Amino acid sequence: MSKKIILKGTTEQLKPVITQILAIHQMLEGLDLGAGSDRDSEAYPERRYRPQIRLHFLQDTDFDKRSNAPGYHGERRVPGRLTWRLMNETSETITLGELTRIGQQIKQIFGANSGYVWQKGKEIYTYADWDKGYQMQILARSASQAQDLVSKILSLQGHTPTWKYMTKGENLDQPSRYPETPVTKLILGKSVTMPKTRPNVEVRFAYADARIHKLLEPVVIYDRTNKKVGALVR
């Protein structure tokens, strides 16, 4: 059976359709919708080699581990990641000065007050304005927080949200599809807690980096945790 999907229509008609297909694919594959993806660059080739800015979030260390060894027992601190691309730059035009400027802005908006807290939830909100470099999928508990995240990210480039580019996807039976009660399995004679899918959890902004085409390692442009070596802004 072919894995190809053939779509027909104008760019404006196809943008939301492709975005929803990507979201459905991630859901079926069990991928973390808040961890970012590069598949958008494959669907929209003009984005592929543009510098990508990534915001990284992580659950606080005082989360409910339910054990003294969360790694062994199947639990992890929940991460989050939001990304966008700089459509007015390429790997050859972007400068350390510009990345430092972006890092300073991220520090002001996401680094203040001990770090922005993103309340991840079970509803998926997608903001897709590809011409400006945005194709974000945000797991949240309400439209208002998803809009707050979008507004803050767009403000970094002086952009104003156009809400017709934002859509919502929601499972009709969330308690069954994404239960909050942990599922356990018996592995090697021990009860192992399985990671939750789309948990209701708070993740705090930690650092931001930039992926530049042809560079093997990302450039850390702002580090709130003071744990990243060589960060441009602290």
Quick: pLDDT tens for 142-181: 999 999 999 999 999 999 999 999 999 877 777 777 777 7
Cα–Cα distance for residue pair 75/57, rounded to 1 Å: 17
What per-residue confidence (pLDDT) applies to 71?
47
What per-residue confidence (pLDDT) applies to 179?
74
Q: What's the number of CA atoms in the CB half-sphere (13 Å) around residue 15?
A: 17
Q: At how many degrees (to 10) do helices 143-155 and 96-110 cross? A: 150
What per-residue confidence (pLDDT) applies to 37?
44
Buried b (16+ CB within 10 A) or exposed e, 66-99: eeeeeeebbbeebbbebbbbbbebeeeebeeebb
Residue 5 has pLDDT above 80, yes or no: no
Q: HEC profile for the chain?
A: CCCCCCCCCCHHHHHHHHHHHHHHHHHHHCCCCCCCCCHHHHHCHHHCCCCEEEEEEEECCCCCCCCCCCCCCCCCCCEEEEEEECCCCCCCCCCHHHHHHHHHHHHHHHCCCCCCEEEECCEEEEEEEHHHCEEEEEEECCHHHHHHHHHHHHHCCCCCCCHHHEEEECCCCHHHHCCCCCCEEEECCEEEECCCCCCCEEEEEEEEEEECCCCCCCEEEEECCCCCCCCCCC
pLDDT band at 14 (very low <50, low <70, confident <90, very high): low
Buried b (16+ CB within 10 A) or exposed e, 189-218: eeeebeebebbebebbbbbbbbbbeeeeee
Q: What is the mean pLDDT of residues 33-38?
A: 48
Residue 69 has pLDDT above 60, yes or no: no
Greatest mean pLDDT among 8-12, 74-78, 125-129 lies in 125-129
What per-residue confidence (pLDDT) applies to 174?
74
Q: What is the mean pLDDT of residues 34-44?
A: 47
Residue 205 has pLDDT above 50, yes or no: yes
pLDDT band at 62 (very low <50, low <70, confident <90, very high): low
Q: What is the mean pLDDT of residues 92-99?
A: 96
Quick: pLDDT tens for 111-129: 999 999 999 998 999 999 9
What per-residue confidence (pLDDT) applies to 178?
79
What per-residue confidence (pLDDT) applies to 158?
95
Query: Which percentage of the chain shows pLDDT scores above 90?
Result: 55
Q: Where are the domains of the chain?
A: 11-223
Residue 74 has pLDDT above 90, yes or no: no
**Among the listed residues 203, 225, 231, the one whose alpha carbon sits nearest the alpha carbon of residue 118:** 203
Query: Which residue type does 188 have?
Result: L
Higher-scoring residue by pLDDT: 110, 48? 110
**Among the listed residues 99, 136, 140, 103, the one whose alpha carbon sits nearest the alpha carbon of residue 121:** 140
pTM, two decimal places? 0.77
